[in-house]
Amino acid sequence: MKELNTKLLVIGAGPGGYVAAIRAGQLKVPTVLVEGAQVGGTCLNIGCIPSKALIHAARAFEQAVQQAGKSPIGIRVQKPTLDIAQTVHWKDGIVKKLTGGVSALCRKAGVEVVQGWARVDDGKTVTVQTKDGESVRIRCEHLLIATGSEPTEIPTMPFGGAVISSTEALSPTEVPKRLVVVGAGYIGLELGMAYRKLGSEVTVVEMAPQILPRYDAELTKPVLDALKHQGITLHLGYSVEGYDKARGVHVRGGGADEFALPADRVLVAVGRKPHVQGFGLEGLQLSMDGRHIAVDARCSTSMNGVWAIGDVTGEPMLAHRAMAQGVVVAEQIAGEKRRFEPMAIPAVCFTDPEIVVVGHTPESAKEAGIDAIHAQFPFAANGRAMTLESTVGFVRVVARRDNHLILGWHAVGADVSELSAAFGQSIEMGARLEDVADTIHAHPTLGEAVQEAALRALGHALHV
């Protein structure tokens, strides 16, 4: 058996794992990165990136369809058609370019990548079964678990055949005539809206009484209106009992009424679970926080020299959180003093319109016992939004009443995901309402709504 010795061994080459490995390599820490599938993990290969590519393609197709009618901006086109095979090929090209870039960055940083499936022998030793059928034993001083998460199945409706996860939904061979989406969280709605734009009849079933249960109603209302406008059917407060090809998806309501929804494909998007089983991790007997690995502010587990980052450590399950944690761990192993204690982590829902949440909402501030003020500015009063033909939504700010320290930013509207960096930065830097209100914002931009929200919280908005 081939043997390797290294200072840092990373299991999982998703956003958290590969970023940790690259940063460690930059700091001259001998590093081995083990990945069973493709570098880039779920995010680059079957998650964040390909889903946004499909969403963009769907949006472009929808615009072309609209321009085949009576376009208010004067564009006239013939009735467009969709080559879904070419769409998937284009999406795959983006994925290939990005994963190839990650591999190149690993080589540049001196990281040794081992393609294969790892099994943890103990806190210092891992055995990898490579794709070539060889076994490699790797000994390390530090072990970093970055194995991510996987889609959650419904016991009565396991994945297979017509029942698909987000993975299969991102590489369709055809656009289904009838798609039933189980789950009205961000994954279900992002893909459900994309498929509707591509031409599917879409129905969404959700156990909770509202869409996007983790977001407040003020933010989700524009999305709810958009779903109805697109012709997507919603069954809120309903559960699924199973699926059969003849009748479709069996649905039950709170009043025990049951009916079936015909479906050519069923997308199950009820959440993700941490990938902590199947590779010997249980042998370490690490302290757990429910289904997740418990870690402290250093991302250290209950075993000395064993670290964990990303989805295996719990919510929020976000790629950018994993990346930040990866840097923290790498720099500690290199001898620096670091802790993972962010003031806020942006969460973005790429529906149409998009939603961004960073920091406290008015409700969470109240629950925390904070005397806060909040204000919002509508995109209906923003010139740039008008030129983009999308005036739905607003920007909202939450701040302490006594000293105007900004506690949270929220936005719903077209392309508001691009405002998330400014939102997070203002909170991390301890900005006050006056700091944002007195900063000159370029005109005409969507970002002016950020300044106007701060001005309105201070009582002197200019354009509303």
Give backbone dihedrals phi and psi of 460, rounded to 5 degrees, phi first.
-145, 55
Domain layout of the chain by residue ranges: 2-56+84-151+273-333, 163-270, 347-458
| 131 bridge partner residues | none
Domain 2-56+84-151+273-333 part of CATH 3.40.920.10: no
| Coil/strand/helix, residue 35 | strand
Q: Cα(50)–Cα(344) distance, rounded to whole angstroms?
A: 26
Domain 347-458 part of CATH 3.40.50.2300: no
The residues that are catalytic are 443
Q: What is the pLDDT of residue 259?
A: 92
Helix (H) or strand (E) holding 453: helix 448-458
Q: What is the pLDDT of residue 188?
A: 97
Q: What is the pLDDT of residue 70?
A: 79
Q: Cα(146)–Cα(8) distance, rounded to whole angstroms?
A: 13
Q: In Å, how far are 67, 111, 249, 270, 407 from 153, measured between CA atoms? A: 40, 35, 15, 8, 36
Q: What is the pLDDT of residue 248?
A: 94
Q: Cα(403)–Cα(432) distance, rounded to whole angstroms?
A: 8
**Stated pTM of the model:** 0.95
Q: What is the pLDDT of residue 132?
A: 84
Domain 163-270 part of CATH 3.50.50.60: yes
- Cα torsion angle, 452, 458, 459, 460, sign: negative
Exposed e or buried b for every residue in 115-150, given b needs 16+ CB within 10 A?
bbbbbbeebbebbbeeeeeeebebebebbbbbbbbe
**What is the separation of C-alpha 88 from the centre of its chain, rounded to a whole number of angstroms?**
20
Give backbone dihedrals phi and psi of 124, rounded to 5 degrees, phi first.
-125, 0
Up-side HSE of residue 284: CA atoms within 13 Å toward CB? 29
Query: Along the chain (464 residues), what's the average pLDDT of each consecutive run of 10 residues?
Result: 95 97 98 95 93 97 89 88 96 96 97 96 96 93 97 94 96 96 97 98 96 95 98 96 93 84 96 95 96 98 98 97 98 97 97 98 97 98 96 98 98 97 97 98 97 97 92
Do 163-270 and 347-458 fold alike per CATH?
no
